[in-house]
Amino acid sequence: MTDKLIITMAQLTQSVGDLRANADAMIAVLQGAPDSDLVIFPELQLIGYPPEDLVLKPAVWERAETELNRLAAATAGTGPAMLVGSIFREDDKLYNGLALLEDGRVKDVRYKVELPNYGTFDEKRLFASGPMPDPVEFRGVKLGLPICEDGWLPDVCEHLAGLGAELLISVNGSPYEIDKDDRRETEVFQARVEETGLPLLFLNRVGGQDEVVFDGCSFVLNADGETVHRLPDWEEHMRTTQWTRSEVGWSCAAGEVEKWDTHPADIYNAMIVGLRDYVNANRFPGVVLGLSGGIDSALSAAVAVDALGADRVWCVMMPSRFTSQESLDDAAGCAKLLGTKLYTIPIMPAIEGFDAMLNDSFSDSNVDITEENIQSRIRGVTLMALSNKFGHMLLTTGNKSEMSVGYATIYGDMAGGYSVLKDAYKLTCFKLSEWRNRNKPSLGLGPDGPVMPDAVITKPPSAELREDQKDSDSLPDYEILDPLLHGLVEEELSVSDLVSRGFDRETVIRIERLLYVAEYKRRQAPPGVKLGTRNFGRDRRYPITNAFRTV
């Protein structure tokens, strides 16, 4: 029995499906921590998280077993042991589990009990729930190993404490959401410490995976609830923690307690991580986007430059006869401040060509939104042509307010491979733009100073698809629209609920209808960074054909 433990926390990124690369990264950490007793890794680190239906392939199970045995072999001799998350098959059931690797073998395995099945999580579709676990014996110490959701609810931790666990190690795959970092520490896991009287290590991963991003923000709590370690947000980090047993139990020596991002820096860095990792993991040389002179494209371009560097971002201005000189100047100003190249490709020849093509078919019809959408689709085709020719991924620039009500053109400005603003309401875009003009994000590769002219932020938003067009011609002011949408989307409120909050009844009815009828557009939209509790995609899954209304 030992009275001292050295535990290394490995806050890593991942490559979903690349089991060999993930295993190689863990072996490198192991070799870099020769004086540790135990090295711990995030949930399902060998497979990557969330793996979705990938784990249903028998070839994945086989490779997981092979790579886990290779990891186990790396622990032979006098070096550290490892706690590694992987998938396990037993009695024709698949489990999300955690293996203790020591002395060159898989010494013990524990399965996840609480399977989340909400929001971005779909684990009951994939895994069986494990039995209530016993503590794992490690060098005379009883370790409780709640896996992610097992620590977010009290039962598993209380069960482990009741069986004599002396220390809780919670490995997680916990995606970023606004305010979630503080909630994990001060609400959820401090409650587990208080309930069990045990110290706790919380380990999370970093990096982007499709729509979700992981912010790290790992920490250690002693049994009195004091935070004695905080790992940084957003970055890979290895932290060695020193543990000592006394007559009152185990405690961890104090280390560095990092400061995590506050708003809106956290949102901006989440966008950087999501876009950077999506582009790099899918091997795009860079991104191309339409730069209109408006705030959404300016903010998207700024995030892209901060994520990838100016040399990997290609901006394109596509003016029509409705494009103002102010927009031309503002787009040029954005490109200059960001240091990106800006191409100008006028679309009037294509508009005139479509007018001629459709003249006979449209001869008995008035000009309406159809002609506006043609302009947007011409721009989409132009940008996709550049993407196809040169390989850069097309970045869309629509925000959540627009996507909520269908204020976007399918096969037009919705065309593309990724959207950093997909979960950002319009007022959030204003806030982020104002913040970025005064601050450089910690992860940013872009300029130190402003990234867009002030006029981009202060002028009334417009799609510029007809003369003197403003967003307010079709939509309520964003100061009204965004809180209303938050109530409908994030809170699932009814019309009467929102009217009781002071919203105009007819406005709420109209916006609720627009929200529902735009579902078919959102189903065809590209993925984008999840920021809040109910993003359009993994979090909110509504039928396209839907006759329900709350009035």
Give tens-digit pLDDT for 276-306: 999 999 999 999 999 999 999 999 999 999 9
* pLDDT score for 491: 94
Fold of the CATH domain 4-252: Nitrilase/N-carbamoyl-D-aminoacid amidohydrolase (3.60.110)
Q: What length is written for the chain?
A: 551
**Catalytic residue IDs:** 43, 112, 148
In 3D space, the residue among 173, 171, 151, 172 whose CA is nearest the CA of residue 161 turns out to be 151
User: What SS3 state is found at 160?
Assistant: helix
DSSP state of 414: T
C-alpha to C-alpha distance for 228 and 342, rounded to whole angstroms: 49
User: CB within 8 A of 62, min separation 6: which ones?
Assistant: none
Could you give the residue ranges of the DSSP H alpha helices within 9-140? Answer: 19-31, 58-73, 123-126
pLDDT at position 41, please? 98
**Identity of residue 484:** L
Q: Name the pLDDT band for 2 (thresholds 50, 70, 90).
A: confident
Average pLDDT for the chain: 94
Instruction: Render pLDDT for 163-209 as a digit per residue (tens, 0 to 9).
Output: 999 999 999 999 999 989 889 999 999 999 999 999 999 999 999 99
- Specify whether domain 265-523 bears CATH 2.60.40.10: no
Assessment of whether the complete model's pTM goes beyond 0.85 = yes
Domain residue ranges of the chain, discontinuous segments joined by +: 4-252, 265-523
Paired tokens of 359: 């003249």
At residue 531, the pLDDT reads 93
Lowest pLDDT segment from 49-58, 90-99, 103-112, 467-476: 467-476
